[in-house]
Amino acid sequence: MNIISRKPRFVTGLKLKENKKSEHEPIATIPVPGRVIIPMQMHAGAECELIVKKGDTVKTGQVIGEFSSFISAKIHSSITGTVKSVLKTVNPATSTIINAVEIEALHDSEGNRAAEEKTYNDSIIIENPEDFKVFMSETDNASAAELIAKIKDAGIVGLGGAAFPTHIKLSVPEGKKIDTVILNGCECEPYITADHRMMLEYAMQILCGAYIIFKILNPIKVIIAIENNKEDAIRLMADRIRELGLENIFYISALPSKYPMGAEKTLIKNILKRKVPAGSLPLDVGVVVQNVSTAKAIFDAVAFNKPLIERVITVTGGIDKPLNLMIRIGTLVGDLKKYFGTFSDKPHDVIFGGPMTGFSVANMNFPIVKGTGCVLVQEGRKLVEKNCIRCGRCVSVCPMNLMPLMYGIYAKNNKWEECRDYYIDSCIECGSCAYVCPSSIPLVGYIKTGKSVLARK
């Protein structure tokens, strides 16, 4: 097997209860929703400008949001329908007010759902190793600029949660050389199993997406990082690497299951023994990290000209039936309730993301966006914040070797510049500090506020 390492190396972090309740649930594709709400900011960077208006008819995959800023990503309609309204909504990740568009599916004169019209062709058959080898051969004939253009037109962003525009991440500045690509399949946060199921069900597509990244960046090797609690995915990906004849380029690093192993700087340190300096990016140490689901989206964009209009999410927590769903972007959480059953009558929180890095949404009417990998329903808990006792637990678990307690102290006193002195920008917001804090201090909230204030100065 093409596995280069099973050693723990520099591993630090937390050993959390995994709660992977849905890891054996195959991905179910749910029917196309009758209504979607699509925000104009589902990515890191600037909000897109809406280029459709109320009453317009749009096709599935049609561009509805364009951008002029450097860091942004196109937005497409995820269904065929009519623009019912243009509205304001809250971006739950940033608590800012942004524009959104409501699209309602088309119906004929008798009230029946009209046929879906697509702007892309996903009917091309690519299903066995020989088909994928032909696709890879065709990819060899395309230039890096052509491949990046397709990724840009598809509006692809990082699907691991950060939602950074992929075309920018793959556009390495002149003078920088990438020698290693890391394909991130760790999924270290409790409950979430979407990437695990993607590796089991779309391994060939993921590897072809990784091959496209390889052709763009021309590194020496591609390393697929998978935690060792996903042995089935490790073996399957190794088999598919061999079938595609990629043994001399692609390797697998089987890593210990600890949190936050999936953070890109943690991965780089554990796999390559390289530390990304404060204020620097992975490309500064010759590395680009991409999520496995992002690689699948890249394959779809290059093979079918398919934009990012759907993704796999895990729906889990205190519900009757935890599962993994392929759903259209813009689907409302409330419309998913019939698929995962009921939950207890006790007060509950709906969280986009996992319990460590996710954020609560006010109600079930929020839409699934590009960066949503999980909807976690769990019993609501009221935590009472107490004073810091300077126990140092947050310092001992911080994977970036920071002093999180200082951010809480300074934030409460509006001493934002002092936060910068303690390298607040190096924090990856993994939530380990808040998890171990005996005083229930919401340190990640203070850190996000501090970063936001400093960014405006």
**383 inside domain:** no
Domain count, the chain: 2
Is residue 110 over pLDDT 90? no
Residue 310 CB burial class (10 angstroms; 0-12, 13-18, ≥19): buried
Q: Of 171 and 127, which is predicted with more confidence?
A: 171
Instruction: Compute the distance between CA of residue 17 and CA of residue 356 in angstroms, rounded to an integer.
Output: 12
Cβ pair 210, 138 in contact under 8 A? no
Domain finish residue from 236, 271, 304: 304
Work out the average pLDDT over 257-271: 90
pLDDT at 10 over 90: no
Q: What local confidence, expressed as pLDDT, does residue 41 receive?
A: 93
User: Which domain range does residue 415 map to?
Assistant: 393-455
- Phi first, then psi, for residue 210 (nearest 5°) are -65, -35
Whether residue 70 is contained in a domain is answered as no
| Average confidence score pLDDT of the chain | 91
Please state the rounded mean pLDDT for residues 358-387. 86
Q: What is the pLDDT of residue 388?
A: 93
Q: Is residue 436 part of a domain?
A: yes
Asked whether residue 328 is assigned to any structural domain, the reply reads no
Contact status, residue 65 vs residue 48, Cβ threshold 8 Å:
yes
* CA–CA distance, 247 with 183 (Å, rounded to integer): 15
263 and 138 housed in the same domain: yes
Q: What is the pLDDT of residues 281-317, one digit of tens each?
A: 999 999 999 999 999 999 999 999 999 999 999 999 8
| DSSP-derived secondary structure letter, 178 | -
CATH number, domain with residue 253:
3.40.50.11540
How many Cβ atoms from other residues are within 10 Å of residue 63's Cβ?
Answer: 17
The string of pLDDT tens digits covering residues 189-247 is 999 999 999 999 999 999 999 999 999 999 999 999 999 999 999 999 999 999 999 99
* pLDDT (average), residues 110-119: 87
**Same domain flag for 293 and 425:** no
Kindly report the backbone phi and psi dihedral angles of residue 283, in degrees, each rounded to the nearest multiple of 5, phi listed first: -65, -20
pLDDT, one tens digit per residue, over 322-344 is 999 999 999 999 898 888 766 65
H or E stretch covering 338:
helix 337-340
- C-alpha 279/C-alpha 35 separation (Å) is 42
DSSP string for 168-214: HHTSPPTT----EEEEE----STT--HHHHHHHHSHHHHHHHHHHHH
pLDDT score of 15 more than 90: no
Which pLDDT score, from 0 to 100, does residue 279 have? 81
Answer yes or no: do 397 and 298 share one domain: no
Name the pairing type of β-strands 348-352 and 35-39: unpaired
Query: Which phi and psi angles does 199 have, rounded to 5°?
Result: -65, -35
Query: What tokens does 125 get?
Result: 């058959």
Cα 291 to its chain centre, rounded Å, is 7
Q: Is residue 445 part of a domain?
A: yes
The predicted structure's pLDDT at residue 376? 92
Q: Write the CA distances from 353 to 187, 200, 360, 375, 377, integer angstroms.
A: 11, 21, 9, 6, 10
* pLDDT (0 to 100) of residue 11: 58
At 12 the pLDDT is: 66
347-356: average pLDDT: 85
Residue type, 304: F
Of the chain, the percentage scoring pLDDT greater than 90 comes to 71
pLDDT of residue 7: 56
Q: Is residue 157 domain-shared with residue 255, that is, in the same domain? A: yes
The verdict on pTM exceeding 0.75 is: yes
In a domain, 105, yes or no: no
Query: What are the beta bridge partners of residue 255?
Result: 227
Winning range, highest mean pLDDT, from 133-147, 326-340, 363-377:
133-147
Cα radius of gyration rounded to whole Å, the chain: 22
Please identify, among 285, 304, 323, the residue that sits at the C-terminal boundary of a domain. 304
CA distance 204 to 200: 9
Distances (CA, A) of 435 to 39, 373, 429: 31, 21, 12
pLDDT of residue 347: 61
Can you give the pLDDT at residue 32?
94
Give the DSSP per-residue string, 221-261: EEEEEEETT-HHHHHHHHHHHHHTT-TTTEEEEEE---BTT
| Residue 248 sits in the same domain as residue 137 | yes
Q: What is the pLDDT of residues 435-444, one digit of tens each?
A: 999 999 999 9
Judgement on whether residues 184 and 288 belong to the same structural domain of the protein: yes
Residue 228 lies in a domain: yes
Q: Is residue 137 located within the same domain as residue 273?
A: yes
Is residue 6 very low, low, confident or very high in pLDDT (cuts 50, 70, 90)? low
What are the distances in angstroms from CA 436 to CA 195, 355, 392, 405?
26, 13, 10, 12
Question: Of 304, 326, 349, which residue sits at a domain end?
Answer: 304
Domain presence at residue 29: no
287 shares its domain with 156: yes
Q: Are 124 and 304 in contact (CB under 8 A)?
A: yes
Percent with pLDDT over 70 in the chain: 95
Q: How confident is the model at residue 381 (pLDDT cuts 50, 70, 90)?
A: confident
pLDDT surpassing 90 at residue 3 = no
